[in-house]
Structure 1
């Protein structure tokens, strides 16, 4: 090998290293370290406690990823999603309520994607954008998460959101999601069966319950009368230590964002789902999920929110302790 050849190889190696560093910087332009949880602004937090890496991974609305070894100090935000710009999502889809689930050696990214350039319906003067729950996959919890086989999981003419994961008593995987109230005017929570590798859906969605079945969510009608709120948001499924199947989900009590819980009488997704009479979180806490720490403590991750000076919501991840030793969960609120 001549000196000139060696020089050319070295130049090309430096060039490609520079390109890789530039790509990494573009994907993660402002990585911060040692950030306290209450300094992060994030809606719909979801935390995966990854036993293989002994690391906690947090994602949510916005599609970014944070990681921590102790749940106190966090590093991020990392860009981990690679969608197909030629798909129905478009070039820059909005990403809401992302979750990471480990299943059969892979990591699956459940999220709501919105293409604001496509309008699928207009109801009561509201234009409805192309929005749907979808699943991406990666070999590692840090991504990148990429599309799989099916181009769509749910009907293109229905706005759906907040998809989550559950393997039911029939050992089949399901996505549980919300059919958005903007179109049906009484939001629902539904299920759809997934392929064994989660690469697509099977059949059609099935109704689990409607928002109007909740005794605790409330809004005021145009005539001033109180009625059930129409919003269904953020379902998450769990089993208590006694084996009771439950689902936390979020709606509104007038102007307050609040989380309630329902329990399945049959112990399966088919229910019937019995709604608790009162919410389980204080006002303006919601869209929760639960996970066990590496020390075995059960925690609920959810966001609080308040209105900022410019009128926008300021949303902050919170962690609350949960007791699931009985047929119902009990959430310990912060002092």
Structure 2
């Protein structure tokens, strides 16, 4: 573990690093936005792919980005891992960073000509919402020979903590959603992962196979668990409808993680929005954070965080108008 602590705001300015203030949300370029509304500091903390942090008091303007992840360069992650889909969760007096790390220097498999790099969901801890987030006891949460991503956090009906994550389609050719039990302090995992559902279970995701037939898409991406006000357990997750990035929702018939999971027939957000999560504002309004997905004229992907109002009064959530 590195002994260097992440610099604070004044130190960033002294170092000449590019921390900005009063940045509108739609001016930030960020995939997989995740917002922690921390009542202890009356501050919203937003992170996502890249692992950096933005702060806001009102969800309108933001300060950042700050570097908050302090991984172990001697671990399997290597000195400069890619960081995807970071999330912040408050739990039992501490703050936890669930993120996906990729070491591009380690190759774990080759499937259908695709070389698969070592990639896995992992958990770091901090005493403060703005970090630094550092490693805990277990250096590995998920199997080294299995590319996993987009780990998220949930306490199930049995009172135990779990990580819900995706086994990447590039290896199994039909992405899965899985769960694994975590230790009580989240410092490692217990046992093996268990299947919740497969990408092919979706009635709304679509792609063309090699023969041109329309089949379910292979991608599972971005799980997020929630309960409606009636107690119904749901899961947001994202895939594709041909070339359109799309988010759907499934509900557990048993009310527990093991399901069975019944997928809604239609997507829950407009086309080209996905990887969503839900949080409540300090005023009690339920919002969904997602990113929009578009392609510029020069072929680059553009991903911008957006907020939608959500109604969870019934057994199923309803996405309303964009948050103003």
Asked whether the two chains share a fold, i.e. TM above 0.5, the reply is yes
- Secondary structure in 2 matching 1:238: strand
TM-score (norm 1): 0.92
Of the three residues 203, 206, 216, the one matched with 1:215 is 203
Paired residue for 1:183?
171
Alpha-carbon shift at residue 112 of structure 1 (Å): 0.3
Alpha-carbon shift at residue 28 of structure 1 (Å): 7.9
Are 2:239 and 1:239 aligned? no
Are 2:47 and 1:59 aligned? yes
Alpha-carbon shift at residue 25 of structure 1 (Å): 5.5
Paired residue for 1:49?
37
Of the three residues 156, 166, 173, the one matched with 2:154 is 166
Q: Distance in 2 between matches of 1:260 and 1:146?
A: 33
Tell me: CA distance 1:47–1:225, structure 2 relative to 1, closer, same or farther (3 Å): same
- Secondary structure in 1 matching 2:31: coil
Alpha-carbon shift at residue 309 of structure 1 (Å): 2.6
Are 2:263 and 1:275 aligned? yes
Are 2:103 and 1:115 aligned? yes
Greater Rg, structure 1 or structure 2?
1
Paired residue for 2:134?
146
Q: Distance in 2 between matches of 1:27 and 1:168?
A: 44
Paired residue for 2:82?
94
Unaligned 5+ segments in structure 1 are 1-18
Q: CA RMSD in A?
A: 1.6
- Deviations, residues 255-282 of structure 1 (Å, cap 9, x unaligned): 0000000000000001000000000011
Q: Distance in 2 between matches of 1:96 and 1:27?
A: 26
Contact 1:28 1:77 in 2 (8 A): no
- Deviations, residues 284-329 of structure 1 (Å, cap 9, x unaligned): 0000000000000000000001101321110000000000000000
TM-score (norm 2): 0.95
Alpha-carbon shift at residue 22 of structure 1 (Å): 9.8
Unaligned 5+ segments in structure 2 are 1-6
Task: Number of aligned residue pairs: give it.
Answer: 317
Q: Distance in 2 between matches of 1:258 and 1:34?
A: 30
- Secondary structure in 2 matching 1:183: helix
- Deviations, residues 53-80 of structure 1 (Å, cap 9, x unaligned): 0000000000100000000000000000
Are 2:296 and 1:314 aligned? no
